Structure 1
């Protein structure tokens, strides 16, 4: 669902006639990404590389067709490709290769990290009903301030979701969806009597920071309210679910907006009941 939604925001309907289902391709891509890097036919890694090439070629074809039609006004709302093409003349870094890689990266983010974060959000909200109650209060307040309840969310609505964004931060902190960040040493780096040679790859384990009791009190507990104090004290520098600095993930803000919008729909239109998973399993087996 998250991949198909993102594809519409990026490409509108340009991938509907593609010779493959984009969400299926990204599912297979993720499965092969964490495999042993053996590039031989029949291996998961080989399949992953073939999918990567196929998807990028399709995206490049879409981009080239859009460039050819850029002089004509396209019907419907603008998508991300429209914005990027319009900025190509003023932003020299926006080459065709860069845009293709960016589009692929944004879809990759939605294929795994957002869906995983959503699943973890469900689990944590069920286990902490007091958090869910405060979420409901915040989003009901947003609806009460609207003249039309069916009107879409605005950017101001999103920016007013103070507690929602604290919940999202806390889910991202506990989830550590990205297991690590990679950087390359540009020069020899001395660390505690050792030297990391220039050219070596450094892996930053985000969980070691996000679950560090020196940085976060009672780090294994789900406590969105902690972010009220953290953000006011500038302590968010110890939080990097999307990377940090100039190398931050291009889909960081998109991910937050998507998660916040999803939670808004969830708590304003639906109500759930917790079912003991052991009981559910027993009942399910009885029906087989």
Structure 2
């Protein structure tokens, strides 16, 4: 794995030399900032948490957002992040199996709910129940979802639709996006009449409204695990992890609609 990380660093250095910019070595750069790789659905809340941490400590925090699957693969390829927050347990486990996280630091940080949304001005109405007629509600439109093979929000959506017996009727009418925020945007801009996203995403966008919430029993529990990466060289990573479990972060997460699972010091 050191070979992969060294190749990643060499490529960055070569790019810097070509552009006339000198990049600090990883060990020096680690003193200056903390880098979090986080699921796209965390953006509003985690931006607030990062700002609060910087305000309290003076330590700069950079957050890179994308689908959990894309971030996990970047970490495997040597991306020098300090902390990873996934939108499901599977991608954290995937990294753990490759020795890429400090497993003692791993914590179940947050919970969320899955909702069906429509544009704010839509007159659509539905109650989610086994066998509900989602196909008729879509009419000629498509259902916006995150990628159902790789992205946690998409996999939760597929699991819920399968459990409710409607997957096969709508599987050919999906508009699949690279992450849940991209799926949200399809509905927010009116490109799709319906979408399945997290409750927190819907709450963050006034251009959409929630039609109904999926039963929790219809899909695996939505858990956001967080862990320090084994390749992190920043001694401040542990303090930031503790802050993520603390009262200040809790208040921000809860204000955005997340359920806080982690306890301070746990």
- For the superposition of Structure 1 and Structure 2, which TM-score range results when normalised by the shorter chain? under 0.3
Larger helix share, 1 or 2:
1
Higher relative contact order (CA 8 A, sep 6+): 2
What TM-score comes out, normalization by structure 2 length? 0.21
What TM-score comes out, normalization by structure 1 length? 0.20
Larger strand share, 1 or 2:
2
